[in-house]
Amino acid sequence: MTQPDKWLFTPGPLTTSATVKQAQLRDIGSRDREFVDVVSDIRRRLLVLAGQADDTRYTAVLMQGSGTFGVESVISSTLAPGEKLLVLVNGAYGRRIRQMAQVLQIPVRVLEYPEDQQIHAGDVDRALAEDAEIAMVAVVHCETTTGILNPIAELAEVVQRHQRKLFIDAMSSFGAVPVDVAQLGITYLVSSANKCIEGVPGFSFAIADRAALQQSAGCARSLSLDLHAQWQGLEANGHFRFTPPVHALLAFQQALLELEAEGGVVGRAARYAENHRVLNAGMAAIGFRNYLVPDVQGNIITTFHYPDHPNFDFDQFYDRLAVRGFVIYPGKVTQAACFRLGNIGRMYPEQMRALVAAIEDTLHEMNVTLLAHNK
């Protein structure tokens, strides 16, 4: 090792534990019994994280590629020709789902909200009441664009009442925000290896309602992203249809064990809540302002306004923090000059305090004063 790795205050890939990294240091055949067992163990543990004791109602399907590939696999292969998708948008990841529907020529309707506002269940209720062609509703749980949490329980109640399918992009929340897919009547939920489960990038996964998935046979608009075919392959002999990311899967199995040792979703949620609290309090004490109001803010990633000071320059701020060993994240909101700090990954309040101290030093170095302005 030359230099220690920097701490990643990003929404993923994240800082992972040494043991997760080490789990990858081997060669294993993708058709070997041992590997097949790893895959089946991962699929079973994912169902538990989704609130399912067994696979009677849901199944977990692993898909090669980053999170977007998992989302696109559901969007592209579970709607029959002519079926319409309603996309609920309050950030870049919701917009990405709309874009997928457009590229795939899937009929799409969109309800769009400002990026600092949650989606309103009442609007979804009206849209579903007036449009019988809508077969599925798609929504992002934690919109990583800002860190806002959407009210998925309320939305799920509406979608269930109208008997439509529900797709949740839970990329940046799954594993750290409790969710029971059966209770909410979720049809498909997608997340990936390198977010709150703290694995390394390489694949995504869908928690799918078995009956719906069964019905989607033959609906795929792509060979490699065919979710039903991928499921059939895994069920038949435990094999992926195409080369699996074996090392990422080995790391992920270790990450799942570490999640369990931390107390599962509840334990991890508690650490992230404390990370977020410490980081946010520290940033407020320096004088930073939050983009979101506290009651819609999740504990995953937080958006801060740029300091209102002529000497502040984000690129310089970023570089100076990187030299100190901290990687932060640029903003993605369209209407305001902001940056983001993620607090997920193998990090603790100690690292949150260290980042706040480094930010304070950096501002001092840049001759940016904040307190006077915000008092």
Q: Which residues bind ligand PLP (CB under 6 A)?
A: 11-12, 66-68, 93, 140, 144, 169, 171-172, 192
Residue number with CB closer to ligand PLP (52 or 192): 192
What is the Cα–Cα distance from 320 to 331, expressed in whole angstroms?
17
CB of 131 to ligand PLP, least distance (A): 25
Residue number with CB closer to ligand PLP (191 or 216): 191
What is the Cα–Cα distance from 93 to 126, expressed in whole angstroms?
23
Number of Cβ within 10 Å of residue 237's Cβ equals 8
What radius of gyration do the chain's Cα atoms show? 21
Residue number with CB closer to ligand PLP (11 or 282): 11
DSSP string, 311-323: T--HHHHHHHHHH
CB of 195 to ligand PLP, least distance (A): 6
Residue nearest to ligand PLP (CB): 67
Residue number with CB closer to ligand PLP (169 or 226): 169
What is the Cα–Cα distance from 169 to 229, expressed in whole angstroms?
21
What is the Cα–Cα distance from 201 to 145, expressed in whole angstroms?
19
Residue number with CB closer to ligand PLP (30 or 68): 68
Are the beta carbons of 340 and 330 closer than 8 angstroms? yes
Q: Which residue matches tokens 């874009």?
A: 99
Residue number with CB closer to ligand PLP (103 or 211): 103
| Extended beta strands in the chain, E state | 7-8, 58-64, 84-89, 108-112, 134-140, 142-143, 148-149, 165-169, 188-192, 203-209, 301-305, 326-327, 329-330, 338-342
